Structure 1
Amino acid sequence: MVIISDLYKESAQLYNLVSLTGLALYVFIMFFFSKHPSKIKWLTVAWGFALQFAFALIILRWSLGFHIFKWLSDRVANYMKFVQTGCLFLFGPNYSDHLFVMQVLPTVVFISATINIMFYLGIMQKLIVGIALTMKMLMNTTAPESVATAGNIFLGQTECLLLVKPLLKYMTKSEIHAVMSGGFATIAGGVLGAFILFGVPANHLISASVMSAPAALAISKLFYPETKKTKTSAEFAGNIKSQEKSLFEAASAGAKSGMSLVVSIGANLLVFISLLSVINSTLTWFGERVGSTKPITFQFVLSYLLWPFALTMGVKLEDCRKVGELMGIKTFINEFVAFQELGVLINNRKELNEHIAKNGTWSSERSVVISTYALCGFSNFGSIGVQLSLFMALIPSRKSMFAEVALRSMISGSVACFVTACIASDRILFLGLKNEINFLIF
């Protein structure tokens, strides 16, 4: 009620409350299509949304809170940059020309070795127990889903899965679904720099990843509730021992495990993106046969199908088609392409020249902000291939279970991003950090 009152006082129109209606709509949709609606633990869902609102207030209304999270994110990003030394040695000075293959994938190997070392030293077990007990107290969630979701604030879906690797064989379908959803709902700290280079506001990228983490847990437990007794308690996690006999053996084993993941990730991405190209080419061919002057693609079709979702997030009606198109690009290609397109639109608005008339722009900065939050996640069909390859490479015996929950978890991750956009779209976004975000007001 405090937030609603605050929004109403700051707004000259009730349109700023549209996104709260969207929030209620997404909760209803997830409940309606829930796997086990009678098993939903509403206290867990409520605490997830409460934490999301709390993070929004801390990061977006409190300057110190924003800088604390930015500092933590910078520390993680800086550590991950050390992999560049190895990339430079292996691939030469122009390795960054092939960002994904020669920088993102080697980061997987580096983080895998780091996590294995931390397990050998006993650090990771203590971290799992600490976070798991805290989340257990607040949301009644289990050790692996709590740790993986918290880790997704700063790490990517690949690295966070390695955090709970020893627990995977014991996890229920609901726990697997929650871990996958957290990976789909957030982005990796390692790719923040690329998105910022596109012109996307850094502060909103950081706050989006933080806010979407508890939302992912809430939506996941709404969409796929737990029906079995978990075997992955915090005490169980604390008793896990490393199998390696020395620090160097732990590092080597982690690197070997990470390398198998890299091969699996690369192969699956190649197949998924190529198949999407085949589908788009086929649709375009049929479009040309019926006289269409514009290429017909999946993302073009989705721009019409998804514009109602953009509307419920508080986007002005005249921008809904464009936001829907970006959501389609993100879902059926990946977030890199979507953020690159968003950067072009932001730049168009800044320049205010003939390029705007040719390529289009936004009617308000509100659409830029909402798009940033809605796109800030790995929830796309290409990432389903990544997630499945990761899980299957680590625990091949449970591949059918992983495949069963993958699509539902991707939907959960997307909805978590949309819920975050609903919360962030209101005027609350501009009340506390006006000095930090003045560059957004074009």
Structure 2
Amino acid sequence: MQFIGILGIIVTLLLAWLVSSNKKKFKFLNIGLMILIQFVLTFILLNTSVGEFIIKKIAGFFEKLLGFAAEGVNFVFGGIANEGANVFFLNVLMPIVVVSLLIGILQYLRILPLIIKLLGIILSKITGMGNLESYNGAASVILGQSEVFISLKNKLPHISDQRLYTLSAQAMSSVSMSIVGAYMTMLDPKYVVTAIVLNLFGGFIIAGIVNPYEVDEDEDGDDIDFNETKGQSFFEVVGEYILDGFKVAITVAAMLIGYIALIAIVNNLFLLIPGVSITFQDVLGYIFAPLAFIIGVPWDEAVRAGSLMATKLVTNEFVAMINLGEVSGELSERTKGIVSVFLVSFANFSSIGIIAGSVKGLNAEKGNSVARFGLKLVYGASLVSLLSAAIVGFFI
């Protein structure tokens, strides 16, 4: 399977190169260095006692947050659920409010902006990209695909469409810290943490191939400010972030209701076809099976894995994670690990509207630009997930 994994990485990079805006001009050394860093970090996180310690601490931190969230949820919703029942909205989505609250406090205390700037400085040395791209990559991991653009609102009018693609691809390839706790209730925390780290570098790698360009130092600058809470009181910030977290939870809940119902409708339509006994997910599975196989999934599980990967693409990662939980007993640890890593990102069609809408709310012209290259955006972000999943396959 190691050979297949190497093939998966090569194919992923080739798929990126095929749509490159400049097939001869990208930074081989920086891309090679980042792939090497991905391998080293994956080995540390999945195969060493140091990595196990780090993941346990991170998982323990989010477990405590979920416990604190349960206090508030039980006070407001206590008695609604049957005893012993696991209500997805209450146990998985509502804790997002508490994690969002914590992010708001860290923003107000200027701890997060400092972390983002330090990460950005380090990343700029490794990636060979501009300060804006490096800071944005770090901020996307923490703030999420919508919120990160608020910190760039003053720069948006002056950002070229070429740079805007990279910034948007980074946002779509990442996840927000506010929902990481929710992911950890559905996936093994070690794969969630590993995916976040790999996607950070993968976003630079794929964008560097799909969309290579040189940055003029005069237009780059280092005056980006990722602290949007200036001038606000502590309780204003806390209130805003609590409401933002609740909006995210409600939005995810609405998307789940709609998409799961849509899949049920389509599956029912399939059953109306005489002699057909497969579902919509089965069809997607056969289409995506070759991709699942080349990133390291055993062939006898490739159709099931391909179905989960495709479900994430056409709906969202939460729907796919729920489906993974339903069939996890039928999959090997290797397949569960590879698929889990693939699912941890915002790379799906619905994210086009989310990012374009977020940018358009700040600058109409740039929002229209994002919408125009939306399909290429999903394509690139999905390749980031493929690359991360293929690398993880080496260490399971």
Q: TM-score, normalised by structure 1?
A: 0.72
Q: Does 1:162 pair with 2:162?
A: no
Q: 2:10 aligns with which of 24, 41, 52?
A: 24
* 1:237 aligned counterpart, secondary structure: coil
Letter of the 1:292 partner, please give it: V
* 1:37 aligned counterpart, secondary structure: coil
Q: Does 1:180 pair with 2:165?
A: no
In the TM superposition, residue 131 of structure 1 has moved relative to its aligned partner by 1.1
2:324 and 2:253 map into 1 onto residues whose CA distance is: 26
Q: Is the 8 A contact 1:184 1:409 kept in 2?
A: no
Q: Is the 8 A contact 2:99 2:178 kept in 1?
A: no
| Aligned positions of 1:84-123 closer than 5 A | 84-94=70-80, 98-100=87-89, 104=93, 107=96, 109-123=97-111
* 2:20 aligned counterpart, secondary structure: coil
Paired position in structure 1 for 2:23: 37
In the TM superposition, residue 388 of structure 1 has moved relative to its aligned partner by 4.6
2:234 and 2:176 map into 1 onto residues whose CA distance is: 34
Letter of the 2:93 partner, please give it: V
Q: 1:193 aligns with which of 176, 184, 187?
A: 184
| Aligned positions of 1:415-434 closer than 5 A | 415-426=383-394, 429=395
Q: Which runs of 5+ in 1 are unaligned?
A: 1-14, 348-360, 431-442
Paired position in structure 2 for 1:244: 231
* 2:45 aligned counterpart, secondary structure: helix
Paired position in structure 1 for 2:283: 301
1:385 and 1:373 map into 2 onto residues whose CA distance is: 24
Paired position in structure 2 for 1:317: 299
Letter of the 2:155 partner, please give it: Y
Paired position in structure 2 for 1:291: 275
Q: Does 1:127 pair with 2:79?
A: no
Q: Is the 8 A contact 1:184 1:413 kept in 2?
A: no
* 2:112 aligned counterpart, secondary structure: helix
| Aligned positions of 1:208-227 closer than 5 A | 208-226=195-213
In the TM superposition, residue 260 of structure 1 has moved relative to its aligned partner by 6.0
Q: Is the 8 A contact 2:151 2:228 kept in 1?
A: no
Query: Which one has the largest radius of gyration?
Result: 1
Moved more, 213-222 or 187-196: 187-196
Moved more, 182-191 or 127-136: 182-191
Moved more, 28-37 or 92-101: 92-101
1:113 and 1:229 map into 2 onto residues whose CA distance is: 38
Q: 2:46 aligns with which of 45, 60, 63?
A: 60
In the TM superposition, residue 207 of structure 1 has moved relative to its aligned partner by 2.4
Measured against aligned partners, the alpha-carbon deviations of 1:18-41 in whole angstroms (never above 9, x if no partner) come to 210121111011011124435533
In the TM superposition, residue 380 of structure 1 has moved relative to its aligned partner by 2.9
1:378 and 1:425 map into 2 onto residues whose CA distance is: 21
Aligned length: 387
Q: Which runs of 5+ in 2 are unaligned?
A: none
Q: Is the 8 A contact 2:285 2:310 kept in 1?
A: yes
In the TM superposition, residue 75 of structure 1 has moved relative to its aligned partner by 2.3
* 2:40 aligned counterpart, secondary structure: helix
1:232 and 1:99 map into 2 onto residues whose CA distance is: 46
2:118 and 2:167 map into 1 onto residues whose CA distance is: 20
Q: TM-score, normalised by structure 2?
A: 0.79
Q: Does 1:139 pair with 2:127?
A: yes
Moved more, 184-193 or 309-318: 184-193
Q: Is the 8 A contact 1:41 1:221 kept in 2?
A: yes
Q: Is the 8 A contact 1:327 1:338 kept in 2?
A: yes
Q: 1:21 to 1:168 in 2, by over 3 A?
A: farther
1:316 and 1:101 map into 2 onto residues whose CA distance is: 36
Letter of the 1:312 partner, please give it: I
Measured against aligned partners, the alpha-carbon deviations of 1:100-150 in whole angstroms (never above 9, x if no partner) come to 47852662x555554444444333332222111111111134456445544
Paired position in structure 1 for 2:309: 327
Paired position in structure 1 for 2:60: 74
Letter of the 2:33 partner, please give it: W
Say what the alpha-carbon RMSD is for the aligned residues: 3.8
